[in-house]
Amino acid sequence: MQRWSTGAVILVALAAAALGASAALGARNPAATSADIARQPDGRPDLSGIWQANTEAHWDLEAHAARPGAVTQQGVYPYDYARVPAAPVLALGAAGGVPPSIGVVGGDGRIPYTPEAARIRQANGENWIDRDPELKCYLPGVPRAMYMPYPFHVVQGTSKIQMAFTFTNAARTIHLDAVEPPPDDTYMGHSLGRWEGDTLVVEVTHFNGKNWFDRAGNFHSEALRLVERFTPMTRDALWYEVTIEDPKVFTRPWTIAMPLYRRLEPNMELLEYRCVEFVEEFLFGHLRKEQLVRRWEGETMIVDITRKVPPGDKLYEWYRR
């Protein structure tokens, strides 16, 4: 019995290691690459089109169980797993939660923070609505822009690949030709691309360190360096893998990987999500002459929620009897 169980543990461990390694190396993709992919006249893969990730990575890169609310507070019991939705999302009911995810981080599935950075990440998560640059409609940065829950348009030209993002009309250019380095660090970084077979390899540098990876508080510094790999799997799917390096925040390089899917609707096109306008209340509401949101205390927004039960709601009519 003892031997059997030890053997099983070893087998399971080996299987897990193999799975982890294959995820880390993106080994799921090369086997899947089919001859039937879109190509340009020169034979290079053509990545043009409207794409979108279909993951929960924008909530949290790491594996996580579903959460009852995007913002939660301690419930009646003090356990972390018994938290309840907090005021900002309470009125949204089941639409205000966070969907679960198996995670997109390779290897052991965990982000290798230094001890100090791990504390910052923890505090980021606990103060999400105070700190996340996405909520202010700031440029999302890379790789975050690639897996936000909005479509993006890739226009593959002869010496540049332009990416136009729905979220806040963000843009990035992948230079396939030689260009001067940028004059300063930026939110979206500086992207230099090259082809390795059918894979587009992009090195991204010159970040300003003001971005996060997700809504869970995962973050990086201005020392971030990325190597992205885009490999066509089929006509309508790309395997997207990123190696992430930032010695100020992480103890070693780590990877994320996920497919990007083509939006196949025949009338698909990019529409505007001009959140610069949407967040004026969020950013400047406390400075209005007559405030719209009840209520601001100085710069602190305190959200009072009113939810009314519609007349004729059967659940409420039944229990009131």
Partner 1 sequence: MVKRLLAVIGGVAAILAAVMLLRPTSTNPEEARTPWGEPDLQGLWTYEEEIPLQRLARFGNREFLTDEERAAIDKERAEILTRGAEVSDRRYERGTEQDVGGAYNAAIFTTHRPIGRRTSLIVDPPDGQIPPLTPEAQAKRAEIRAFQVALLQATDVCRNNLPGCAGGKYGPPSPRRADAPPHYLTVVGAGGPGGGGGVVNRANGPEDRNLGERCMGAMLPDFGGNTGFMLQIVQSPDSVAIFYDTAQGQGWQRVIPIRDGAHAPAHLRQWWGNSRGRWEGDTLVVDVTNFTPKTYFLGSYENLHLRERWTRLDAATIEYAVTIEDQAVWTRPWTVKQDYRKQDDFQNRIYKEPRCHEGNYGMAALLAGARTEERAFAAGRGPDPATKCNAGCGGFAFGFADTGDESNPLTR
* Residues of this chain that bind partner 1 (CB under 8 A): 40-42, 46, 48, 137-139, 153, 155-162, 164-165, 168-173, 175, 177-180, 182-184, 186-188, 210, 267, 269-272, 274, 276-277, 280, 283-284, 287-290
For partner 1, the closer of residues 24 and 50 by Cβ is: 50
CB of 314 to partner 1, least distance (A): 34
Give the closest residue to 304 by CA, choosing from 319, 288, 291, 293.
293
At 15, the amino acid letter reads A
For partner 1, the closer of residues 79 and 284 by Cβ is: 284
Is the distance from CB of 121 to CB of 39 less than 8 angstroms? Answer: no
Length of the chain: 321
Separation between Cα atoms, residue 208 and residue 188, nearest integer Å: 8
For partner 1, the closer of residues 109 and 203 by Cβ is: 203
CB of 279 to partner 1, least distance (A): 9
DSSP H/E element including 301:
strand 300-301
For partner 1, the closer of residues 65 and 271 by Cβ is: 271
CB of 288 to partner 1, least distance (A): 4
CA angle (290, 291, 296) in 5-degree steps? 140
For partner 1, the closer of residues 8 and 179 by Cβ is: 179
Separation between Cα atoms, residue 228 and residue 226, nearest integer Å: 6
Torsion of CA 197, 199, 200, 204, to 10 degrees: -120
CB of 127 to partner 1, least distance (A): 20
For partner 1, the closer of residues 130 and 280 by Cβ is: 280
For partner 1, the closer of residues 48 and 114 by Cβ is: 48
Which value, in Å, is the radius of gyration of the alpha carbons in the chain? 23
CB of 311 to partner 1, least distance (A): 30
CB of 70 to partner 1, least distance (A): 23
Strands, E assignment, 77-224: 84-85, 152-156, 160-165, 171-175, 190-196, 199-205
For partner 1, the closer of residues 165 and 250 by Cβ is: 165
CB of 187 to partner 1, least distance (A): 6
Q: Whose structure tokens read 């508080």?
A: 217
CB of 219 to partner 1, least distance (A): 16
For partner 1, the closer of residues 40 and 122 by Cβ is: 40
Q: Which two tokens stand for residue 134?
A: 């996405």
Q: Which two tokens stand for residue 40?
A: 């340009």
Whether a cis peptide bond, with omega within 30° of 0, leads into 229 is no
Cα separation values, 43 from 35, 158, 289, Å = 11, 12, 61
Torsion-angle region of residue 33: left (phi > 0), alpha (psi -120 to 50) or beta?
Answer: beta
CB of 73 to partner 1, least distance (A): 29
